[in-house]
Amino acid sequence: MTYYLTTLLVYAAVDVLACLAISLQFGYSGIVNFSFIIFQAAGAYTAAVLSLPKDTANGGFQTYVLGLHLPFPVPWIGAIIVGALLAPPIGLVVLRRLRSDYQAIAMLVISVIASLMITNTPAFLDGAAGLSLVPQPLSDIFNPYSQSYLWVYAIGGIVVAAIIFVVVQRIINSPYGRSLRAMRENELAAGALGKNAVALKMTVFVVGGAIAALSGAILVGFITTWAPSTWLYPETLILFAAVIVGGRGNNYGAVLGALLVPVGFEEATRYLPPFGPPGLIPAIEWVCIGGLILGFLWFRPRGVIPERRRIFAPAKPAAVLEESGAGRH
Amino acid sequence: MPVDTDVVALNPVAGGEPAGGPRPLLVARGVSRHFEGMHAVHDVSIDVLPGHITGLIGPNGAGKSTFLAVLAGTLPVSAGTITFDGNDITGLPAFQRARQGLVRTFQLPSEFGQLTVLENLLAAAPTNRGDSLFGALLGKRYWGADEDRLVAQARALLERFRMSPKESDYASSLSGGQKRLLEIMRALMLQPRLLLLDEPMSGVHPSIVGEIAAYCEALRDEGLTILIVEHELHMIERLGNPVIVMAQGVVIGQGTMTALRQQREIVDAYLVG
Q: What is the pLDDT of residues A178-190, one digit of tens each?
A: 999 999 999 999 9
Give B50-71 pLDDT, tens digit per residue: 999 999 998 888 899 999 999 9
B216 plus B261 within the same structural domain:
yes
Sequence-separated (6 or more) residues with CB below 8 Å from residue A155: A9
When CB atoms are compared, the residue of A185, A318, A328 closest to B151 is A318
Contact yes or no for B200/B223 (Cβ under 8 A): no
Q: What is the CA radius of gyration of chain B?
A: 19
How distant is the Cα of B271 from the closest Cα of chain A, in angstroms? Answer: 31
pLDDT band at A271 (very low <50, low <70, confident <90, very high): confident
**Does the distance separating the beta carbons of A193 and B98 come in below 8 Å?**
yes
Query: B98 contacts in A (CB within 8 Å)?
Result: 191-194
Q: Which of B153, B173, B193 is the last residue of a domain?
A: B173
Does pLDDT of B194 surpass 70? yes
**What is the value of pTM for the model shown?**
0.88
- In whole numbers, what is the pLDDT of chain B averaged over residues? 87
Could you tell me the sign of the dihedral formed by the alpha carbons of A218, A223, A227, A228, in that order?
Answer: negative
pLDDT value at residue B11: 40
When CB atoms are compared, the residue of B122, B135, B189 closest to A178 is B122
How distant is the Cα of B117 from the closest Cα of chain A, in angstroms? Answer: 10
pLDDT value at residue B266: 75
User: C-alpha A196: how far from its chain's center?
Assistant: 25
pLDDT band at B82 (very low <50, low <70, confident <90, very high): very high
Higher pLDDT among residues B137 and A235, named by residue:
B137
- In whole numbers, what is the pLDDT of chain A averaged over residues? 89
B164 plus B81 within the same structural domain:
no
Does pLDDT of B9 surpass 80? no
pLDDT value at residue B12: 44
Helix (H, G, I), strand (E, B) or coil at B29: strand
Q: How many CB atoms lie within 10 A of CB A93?
A: 14
B164 plus B99 within the same structural domain:
no
CATH number of the domain that residue B66 is part of: 3.40.50.300
DSSP-derived letter for residue B116 is B
User: Could you tell me how many CB contacts below 8 A there are between chain A and chain B?
Assistant: 130
Query: A193 contacts in B (CB within 8 Å)?
Result: 95, 98, 103, 123-124, 186-187, 189-190
pLDDT band at A28 (very low <50, low <70, confident <90, very high): very high
Q: Which of B154, B173, B192 is the last residue of a domain?
A: B173
When CB atoms are compared, the residue of A176, A179, A328 closest to B168 is A328
Range of the structural domain that residue B227 is part of? 12-111+177-269
> Which residue, among A327, A159, A328, A325, has the nearest Cα to A253 in the 3D structure?
A325
Give B221-235 pLDDT, tens digit per residue: 999 999 999 888 888
Total number of domains in chain B: 2
The torsion of the CA quartet A279, A284, A286, A290, rounded to 10 degrees, works out to: 160
Query: A309 contacts in B (CB within 8 Å)?
Result: 116, 168, 170
Does pLDDT of A93 surpass 90? no
How distant is the Cα of A59 from the closest Cα of chain B, in angstroms? Answer: 47
User: C-alpha B92: how far from its chain's center?
Assistant: 17
Helix (H, G, I), strand (E, B) or coil at B74: coil
- Residues in B 58-87 with any Cβ partner in A closer than 8 A: 72, 74
B16 plus B82 within the same structural domain:
yes
Does pLDDT of A99 surpass 90? no
- Residues in B 99-158 with any Cβ partner in A closer than 8 A: 99, 103-104, 106, 110-116, 118-120, 122-126, 128, 130-133, 135-137, 139-140, 143-144, 146-148, 151-152
How distant is the Cα of A325 from the closest Cα of chain B, in angstroms? Answer: 10
Query: B190 contacts in A (CB within 8 Å)?
Result: 193-194
Q: Which of B173, B200, B222 is the last residue of a domain?
A: B173
- Residue in chain A lying closest to B133 (CA): A176
Name B103's bridge partners: B195
How distant is the Cα of A98 from the closest Cα of chain B, in angstroms? Answer: 15
- HSE of A93, CA atoms in CB hemisphere, 13 A: 12
Residue B3 lies in a domain: no
Give A227-240 pLDDT, tens digit per residue: 999 888 888 988 99
B33 plus B163 within the same structural domain:
no
A307 at B interface, C-beta within 8 A = yes
- Residues in A 172-191 with any Cβ partner in B closer than 8 A: 174-179, 181-182, 184-186, 188-191
First CA to last CA distance, chain A: 51
Q: How far apart are CA A67 and CA A234, in angstroms?
A: 29
Contact yes or no for A62/A55 (Cβ under 8 A): yes
B209 plus B222 within the same structural domain:
yes
Does pLDDT of B159 surpass 80? yes
Q: What are the phi and psi torsion angles at B232 (to 5°)?
A: -75, 95
Query: B143 contacts in A (CB within 8 Å)?
Result: 174-175
Residue B103 lies in a domain: yes
Find the mean pLDDT for residues B163-192: 94
Supply angle C-alpha B200, B203, B206, rounded to 5: 85
B95 plus B167 within the same structural domain:
no
pLDDT value at residue A321: 56
Higher pLDDT among residues B21 and B49, named by residue:
B49
DSSP-derived letter for residue B13 is G
A329 at B interface, C-beta within 8 A = yes
A178, A203, A248, A309, best to mutate vs chain B, most B CBs in 10 Å: A178
pLDDT value at residue B138: 95
B92 at A interface, C-beta within 8 A = no
B67 plus B100 within the same structural domain:
yes
User: Domains along chain A?
Assistant: 2-323 (1.10.3470)
Does pLDDT of B271 surpass 80? no
Name B226's bridge partners: B53, B195
Q: What is the CA radius of gyration of chain A?
A: 20
Residue B184 lies in a domain: yes
Residue B2 lies in a domain: no
B86 plus B148 within the same structural domain:
no
Residue B101 lies in a domain: yes
B232 plus B218 within the same structural domain:
yes
Contact yes or no for B248/B219 (Cβ under 8 A): no
- Tell me the C-alpha to C-alpha distance, in Å, between residue A91 and each of A24, A26, A209, A217, B134: 15, 14, 11, 22, 20
B153 plus B78 within the same structural domain:
no
Find the mean pLDDT for residues A254-279: 82
pLDDT value at residue B8: 38
pLDDT value at residue B7: 38
Q: How far apart are CA A40 and CA A15, in angstroms?
A: 10
How distant is the Cα of B96 from the closest Cα of chain A, in angstroms? Answer: 6
Does pLDDT of A150 surpass 80? yes
Residue B4 lies in a domain: no
pLDDT value at residue B16: 41
Q: Which of A72-76, A129-133, B258-262 has the highest mean pLDDT?
A: A72-76
Q: Which of A264-268, B49-53, B260-264 has the lowest mean pLDDT?
A: A264-268
Cβ density class B81-120: b for 16+ within 10 Å, e for less: ebebbeeebbebebbebbbbbbbbbbbebbbbbbbbbbbb
Q: What are the phi and psi torsion angles at B195 (to 5°)?
A: -105, 125
> Which residue, among A241, A222, A205, has the nearest Cα to A160 in the 3D structure?
A222
Q: How many CB atoms lie within 10 A of CB A102?
A: 11
B222 plus B258 within the same structural domain:
yes
> Which residue, among B88, B99, B104, has the nearest Cα to B125 in the 3D structure?
B99
Does pLDDT of A192 surpass 90? yes
